[in-house]
Amino acid sequence: MLDHTHQPSARLLARLRMTATEHKLPPEFADILAQDPKMTAVRMAEIAPGLLLVADLGKRKQLRAEEIEAAVGEYITALGSDTPAADPQVLALARESILNMVADRDDQGGRTHEPTLSVGRSWDGGEGLRAKMVDGLTARMVRSHTPTIGREFATMSLSDMLMTIQRAAGERPASRLESVRMAFGQHSRSDFPLITADALSNAVGLGMVQAPPDIARASREVLRDNYQQGRSLTLSSTTVPAEIAEAGEITFGSMDEKGELLPRVRDFGVGFSISNQAIVNDRLDLLTDIASNMRRGATECLRRVLLEPLQANAGAGQNMADGNPMFTVGRGNMVASGAVLSVASLTVARNALRTAKGPRGETFALKPWAILTHPLQETVAQQVLTQIAANQVSNVNPFGGQLELIIEPGLTSTTGWYLLADPSLNDGLTHAFLSGQSTPKVESRAGWETLGMDFRLVWALDAKFVETATWFRNPGA
């Protein structure tokens, strides 16, 4: 069964989304499969044939998004973890799960006209034609994207796409120039701005999934349903079970919102324009450049948001619920005097994580997972983490091959470094997006101040530390 409370790491989610793209699966499937704690990119690739059948049947049977998710959940649950990829059971179970879902819904009179994952019954107009053009235009802007339903539009010029849209709507432009003017006139209802916006969203999203900022690996991704401020839940008493005497009573704790502030998403955005002349001249390179600039800008935006909690208070980190910075000697997550990255200084940091205690004395026993540092420390860090074949016990490197290395050029300190626990298993740095918007969204309209199209990239995100014990800071020397 899928676990909706499971929060996958940003790194795993990125790998699953890349795998979905490689196997021509809808991007929603990566988010669905990420709810399975045992799912990996390798496993997703193994069961991709069955998942493709689920996606295809889901489109043809007009399933809603939640029904698709339920069908995938039934499929991977029935499949188990040891079925070979070539086993005919892969496709049989996929087909059975989706058809059972359709049968159950129809028996209950559940046929609905709510929005679905399907693009509709017709591919020659409306949403169907739009989906094909988005797929083809995405392939023209992103070399790694192989078109599926939109192959015929992967080589079509922008102005010819415009004329195709208008003819499907019953209009008859006399020329490409007239077609452009009709599309971007004051009262136009052309789908072309929506198509280019969706293709740009795909290009930006695919690029960010393939090359996210390295610091995103150090943070846990969560989704927020709204812009409201919230706090992490905390127990009013320790969660360690106490011995129960004969005829004794169990001590109850209560959950309340007295923990750290959760990320509260903030809106970010930037605009671009493209002229009518560029569209008539099929200047696809301009759209490609816009997509590339948007991707780079969004990646930098995410990097800066992730860095804010670390860089606040001159590097001591954001203020926590007690009013003090994230990193203090009193918390036990920072040393009083900085030291260069070495086996000795790493040992101090590791001991701090291993012996970290909660507010009621409970021992966390955290396992160090990665070092985060500036590029100028990368070579030193690699040397410290390299496995060395020692001829004496005293020369053995205890950290060889034990830790991951995260390099972040946006750190203001070129000598400082951090040791942190795995964010997929422990609270620490957390970044949030609005539900359904883990990558930026591109919107478009006919240009008003200029002749052409205006685009804007919008994204809602934020980042905060929600736990102090899972990171250790050394200011460096």
- Mean predicted confidence (pLDDT) in 30-46: 82
Amino acid letter for position 360: R
Does the pLDDT at position 159 exceed 70? Answer: yes
Shared domain check, 384 and 263: yes
Give the pLDDT confidence score for residue 428 in this predicted structure: 94
Q: Please report whether residue 432 resides in a domain.
A: yes
41 pLDDT band, cuts 50/70/90, is confident
Q: Please report whether residue 152 resides in a domain.
A: no
3-state secondary structure of 167: helix
91 pLDDT band, cuts 50/70/90, is low
Provide the mean pLDDT of the chain. Answer: 80
Q: Name the strand (E) or helix (H) holding 369.
A: strand 368-373
Shared domain check, 103 and 223: no
141 neighbors 152 (Cβ within 8 angstroms): no
Residue of higher predicted confidence among 65 and 194: 194
Give the pLDDT confidence score for residue 379 in this predicted structure: 94
Q: Please report whether residue 137 resides in a domain.
A: no
Give the pLDDT confidence score for residue 331 in this predicted structure: 93
Residue ending a domain, choose from 63, 92, 107 = 107
Distance CA 372, CA 303 (A): 14
Q: Which range marks the domain in which residue 310 is found?
A: 216-237+253-271+296-477
Q: Please report whether residue 2 resides in a domain.
A: no
Distance CA 413, CA 454 (A): 39
Shared domain check, 220 and 88: no
Q: Please report whether residue 378 resides in a domain.
A: yes
pLDDT tens digits, 454-477: 889 999 999 999 999 999 999 998
Q: Please report whether residue 278 resides in a domain.
A: no
Percent of the chain with pLDDT strictly greater than 90:
31
Give the pLDDT confidence score for residue 274 in this predicted structure: 84
Between 17-21, 388-392, 394-398, 456-460, the lowest mean confidence (pLDDT) is in: 388-392
The residue with tokens 């072309």 is 192
User: Residue 134, CB half-sphere, CA atoms under 13 Å: how many?
Assistant: 20
58 neighbors 71 (Cβ within 8 angstroms): yes
Shared domain check, 457 and 312: yes
Sequence-separated (6 or more) residues with CB below 8 Å from residue 191: 129, 130, 133, 165
55 pLDDT band, cuts 50/70/90, is confident
pLDDT tens digits, 211-258: 889 999 999 988 888 888 888 765 444 566 777 877 777 766 555 455
Integer angstrom CA distances of residue 197 from 146, 178, 294, 436, 442: 19, 22, 12, 17, 5
Residue ending a domain, choose from 69, 89, 107 = 107
Shared domain check, 323 and 453: yes
Distance CA 33, CA 41 (A): 10
Task: Using the Cα atoms of residue 109, residue 31, residue 438 and residue 22 in order, give the sign of their dihedral.
Answer: negative
Residue of higher predicted confidence among 420 and 288: 420
- Mean predicted confidence (pLDDT) in 295-317: 95
pLDDT tens digits, 92-135: 656 666 666 555 555 554 443 333 334 333 567 777 888 889 98
3-state secondary structure of 296: helix
First to last CA, the chain: 50
Give the pLDDT confidence score for residue 175 in this predicted structure: 75
Q: Please report whether residue 411 resides in a domain.
A: yes
Please give the structure tokens belonging to residue 400: 């060889």
Distance CA 218, CA 112 (A): 42
Between 136-150, 245-259, 277-291, 441-455, the lowest mean confidence (pLDDT) is in: 245-259
3-state secondary structure of 77: helix
Please give the structure tokens belonging to residue 436: 């359904």
Between 30-34, 172-176, 426-430, the lowest mean confidence (pLDDT) is in: 172-176
Cross-strand bridge partners of residue 13: none
Distance CA 245, CA 237 (A): 19
pTM exceeds cut of 0.95: no
Q: Please report whether residue 5 resides in a domain.
A: no
Does the pLDDT at position 425 exceed 70? Answer: yes
Give the pLDDT confidence score for residue 99 in this predicted structure: 62
Does the pLDDT at position 64 exceed 80? Answer: no
Residue ending a domain, choose from 107, 140, 159 = 107
Does the pLDDT at position 420 exceed 90? Answer: yes
